[in-house]
Amino acid sequence: MQNTVDETEKQRLQEKIQRYDQLEIQARRRYKDVTQNQFKRINEIINDETRPLSERLRELFRRDGLTIGALITALGMIISTIFLAIQTAPTATPPQPAKNTFTDRVKRQLVKIANWLLGLA
């Protein structure tokens, strides 16, 4: 009788082990799919050059929340944007002799505003 109980108990434990192994395999697949989808979403947000940085950052935090990965990604996006803005900034031209006509003054002011906006970008 003891042998039968032991065999039955062994069989029941083997079935439990197999069931838990299958659950582990399924959980690993789901985790892999989730992380791949998350990387795809982050790459889509980073590489979308048509939208401004602030909109892309909002989208990143909306989708992924305030996680370490999202913060590191956001920091990288900000640094790359600043670096690209500095790298592509126009060089200063030597000052030209000042003219006192109204149109020349307006042009100079518009150039100053344009340079200021370019610096902000």
Give tens-digit pLDDT for 33-90.
887 887 787 777 777 778 888 888 888 888 778 888 888 888 888 888 888 777 776 7
Overall pTM > 0.85: no
Name every residue whose Cβ is closer than 8 Å to that of residue 92 and which is 6 or more positions away in sequence. Answer: none
Domain hosting 84: range is: 2-91
The answer as to whether 100 is a domain residue is: no
**Average pLDDT of the chain, as a whole number:** 80
Burial class (CB in 10 A: 0-12, 13-18, 19+), 90: exposed
State pLDDT tens for residues 20-43: 999 999 999 988 888 788 778 777
The answer as to whether 120 is a domain residue is: no
- The stretches of the chain forming alpha helices (DSSP H) are 2-47, 53-64, 68-87, 102-120
The answer as to whether 112 is a domain residue is: no
The answer as to whether 37 is a domain residue is: yes
Q: What total of structural domains would you count in the chain? A: 1
The answer as to whether 107 is a domain residue is: no
The answer as to whether 7 is a domain residue is: yes
The answer as to whether 104 is a domain residue is: no
The answer as to whether 111 is a domain residue is: no
% of the chain residues with pLDDT over 90: 15
pLDDT at 112 over 80: yes
- The residue that leads in pLDDT, 120 or 55, is 55
